[in-house]
Amino acid sequence: MRFKRRSDSPLKKKARRGFQGYPVATVAFYGPNDKNASKVTVGILTKQDADPDILERWFAEDRDVRTDPAVAHEILEFIQRHGAKSVVMTDHIIGCPHEEGLDYRKGEYASSAHSGRIAIAGRVISFSKLA
């Protein structure tokens, strides 16, 4: 009998445990395409239906942040430091790394946002389909 090997990533293990209570750490990956994550954002929510109380970002231009052991270690330390009991994590890249209000004006799209496309719930959708 063969067993399916699960990831050895401590971060993925925490996410697989499911909801354990608040505070909750949310982990989201962003990148210029659907293959390379150049940014990860981690938010800490202390109560339901609230914006994150604390938000931290990590960037990498020359490597994928999902496979960088140093970034994973810093994320785990951040989560532990803020006492998160639960971890919610995407298993894919959910959008481009640009931030509204920082990289482009509010209400506009990033000019290089997946070459005219946006990622929603793991699917890439063209802007024309959103209109």
pLDDT in tens, 76-131: 999 999 999 999 998 788 877 666 555 545 665 555 444 444 444 444 444 433 33
Task: Assess if residue 124 is contained within a domain.
Answer: no
2 CB-near residues (< 8 Å, 6+ apart): none
Structural domain harbouring 55: 10-96
pLDDT in tens, 14-38: 888 989 999 999 999 988 888 888 8
C-alpha separations of 107 from 19, 49, 110 in Å:
34, 23, 10
C-alpha separations of 94 from 46, 47, 110 in Å:
23, 23, 15
Cα 60 to Cα 6: distance, rounded to the nearest angstrom: 26
Task: Assess if residue 77 is contained within a domain.
Answer: yes
Q: What is the mean pLDDT of the chain?
A: 77
Task: Assess if residue 1 is contained within a domain.
Answer: no
Task: Assess if residue 122 is contained within a domain.
Answer: no
Task: Assess if residue 53 is contained within a domain.
Answer: yes
Task: Assess if residue 108 is contained within a domain.
Answer: no
Asked whether the predicted pLDDT for residue 65 surpasses 60, the reply is yes
Q: What is the 3-state secondary structure (H, E, C) of the chain?
A: CCCCCCCCCHHHHHHHCCCCCCCEEEEEEECCCCCCCCEEEEEEECCCCCCCCEEEEEECCCCCHHHCHHHHHHHHHHHHHCCCCEEEEEEEECCCCCCECCCECCCCCCCCHHHCEEEECCEEEEHHHHC
Task: Assess if residue 126 is contained within a domain.
Answer: no
What is the total count of domains within the chain?
Answer: 1
pTM, full prediction: 0.72
Cα 64 to Cα 30: distance, rounded to the nearest angstrom: 10
Task: Assess if residue 70 is contained within a domain.
Answer: yes
